[in-house]
Homo-oligomer: A and B are copies of this chain.
Amino acid sequence: MITVDYKDRTPIYEQIIKNIENLIAMGVFEQDDKLPSIRQLAIDLSINPNTIQKAYTKLEDMGLIYTIKGVGKFISKPNCDTKALKLQSIFKNIEENFSQAKTFGLDQKLFDDWIDTLRRNFNDSCD
A residues adjacent to B (C-beta < 8 A): 6-7, 9, 11-12, 22, 25-26, 58, 61, 66-69, 83, 86-87, 90-91, 93-95, 97-106, 108, 110-111, 114-115, 117-119, 121-122, 125-126
Contacts and interface: CB of A to CB of B under 8 A. Distances in A.
A95 B119 CA distance: 10
A67 B8 CA distance: 9
B95 A90 contact: no
Where chain A touches its partner, the secondary structure class is helix
12 contacts: A7-B67, A22-B103, A26-B105, A87-B104, A87-B106, A90-B97, A91-B114, A94-B94, A97-B97, A98-B121, A115-B115, A115-B118
